[in-house]
């Protein structure tokens, strides 16, 4: 019941709350310049599939990416795929007018490293936002727009599970819990 109430509140926030980056000095309309430099010339790149719906019942030993449960990850080593991922993230940010929903249910993460400097991008296409991290410090929240088709195709090709959609998560929340059988 608590889970259902929480999902209802989350859906209400998604449906009604929007913030525009240009009107809020805490949000940006472009990725940080230094992060873009590392993204474009990354020596290492890892794409993550994240499950934003396991915040209440996540296993204690679940691997996390900035607080989100990692469903799987793929190291991207082919230069053309690195360029494709880099171009997609930059395109999604550049196409945005800076509008972001106040929700944040990221399903994708990206870690890029160049010359020992690592930036992480926690990406939520549904809410139109990407958070840029340098180590454990969030340095920017930026608007983005579009669909995660490029990221999903790469994850599927590597047999990495994709997170449930909002509709699938709501359906799972309505289903009765199965006994563990201990």
Start-to-end Cα distance in the chain:
23
- Residue pLDDT, tens place only, 134-180: 999 999 999 999 999 999 999 999 999 998 877 877 777 777 766 55
Quote the DSSP letter at residue 21: G
Mean local confidence (pLDDT), 111-117: 96
- Residue pLDDT, tens place only, 29-85: 899 999 999 999 999 999 999 998 765 666 778 899 998 999 999 999 999 999 999
Tell me the pTM: 0.80
pLDDT category of residue 18 using cuts at 50, 70 and 90: very low
Instruction: List strand residue ranges (DSSP E) for 8-146, in order.
Output: 18-20, 44-51, 64-65, 68-75, 99-101, 108-114, 117-124, 129-134, 137-143
For residue 115 the two structure tokens come to: 């010359």
Domains of the chain: 18-162 (3.30.1490)
Specify the pLDDT at position 102.
Answer: 83
In whole angstroms, how far apart are CA 4 and each of 8, 39, 108, 162? 6, 38, 24, 22
Cβ atoms < 10 Å from Cβ of 69: 19
Specify the pLDDT at position 21.
Answer: 40
Residue closest to 130 by CA, chosen among 114, 148, 118: 148
* pLDDT higher than 90, residue 2: no
**Pick the residue with more confidence: 23 or 32?**
32
Distance, in Å, from the CA atom of 3 to the CA atom of 92, rounded to the nearest integer, reads: 32
Would you say 138 and 27 are in contact if contact means Cβ atoms under 8 Å apart? no
Specify the pLDDT at position 7.
Answer: 53
pLDDT category of residue 130 using cuts at 50, 70 and 90: very high
């Amino acid at each position: 019941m608590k889970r259902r109430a929480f999902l209802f509140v989350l859906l209400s926030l998604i449906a009604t709350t929007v913030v525009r980056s240009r009107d809020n000095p805490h949000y940006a309309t472009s990725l940080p310049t230094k992060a873009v430099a590392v993204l474009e010339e990354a020596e290492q790149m890892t794409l993550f599939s994240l499950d934003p719906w396991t915040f209440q019942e996540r296993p204690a030993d679940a691997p996390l990416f900035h607080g989100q449960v990692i469903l799987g990850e793929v190291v991207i080593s082919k230069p053309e795929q690195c360029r494709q991922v880099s171009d997609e993230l930059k395109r999604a940010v550049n196409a945005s007018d800076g509008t972001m929903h106040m929700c944040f249910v990221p399903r994708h993460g990206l870690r890029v490293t160049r010359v020992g400097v690592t930036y992480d991008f926690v990406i939520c296409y549904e809410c139109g936002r990407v958070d840029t991290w340098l180590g454990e410090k969030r340095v920017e929240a930026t608007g983005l727009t579009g669909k995660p088709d490029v990221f999903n195709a790469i994850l599927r090709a590597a047999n990495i599970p994709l997170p449930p959609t909002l509709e699938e998560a709501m359906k799972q929340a309505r289903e009765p819990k199965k006994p563990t059988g201990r």
